[in-house]
Amino acid sequence: MKTLLICRHAKSDWSNLYIKDYDRTLNDRGLRDAPMMGQRLLVRNYLPELIISSTAKRAEQTALLISKEIGYDIKKIQWEEKLYHAPPHIIQDVLFATDNAINSVMIVCHNPGITDFVNVLANNLVDNIPTCGMAAFYIDTKRWEDYPTAKTDLYFYDFPKNDL
**Helix 28-43 × helix 57-70 angle, to 10°:** 40
Q: Is 29 exposed, middle or buried (0-12, 13-18, 19+ CB in 10 A)?
A: middle
Q: CA-based angle 55:59:63, to the nearest 5?
A: 100
In a domain, 139, yes or no: no
Total number of domains constituting the chain = 1
In a domain, 140, yes or no: no
Sign of dihedral through CA atoms 75, 80, 134, 146?
negative
Look up the pTM and report it.
0.96
In a domain, 135, yes or no: no
Distance CA 142, CA 163 (A): 34
Reported as a single tens digit per residue, the pLDDT across 6-55 is: 999 999 999 998 999 999 999 999 999 999 999 999 999 999 999 999 99
In a domain, 127, yes or no: no
In a domain, 37, yes or no: yes
Domain harbouring 101, CATH code: 3.40.50.1240
Amino acid at 1: M
In a domain, 132, yes or no: no
In a domain, 133, yes or no: no
In a domain, 17, yes or no: yes
**Parent domain of 151:** 2-106+113-122+145-155
Amino acid at 24: R
pLDDT band at residue 152 under the 50/70/90 scheme: very high
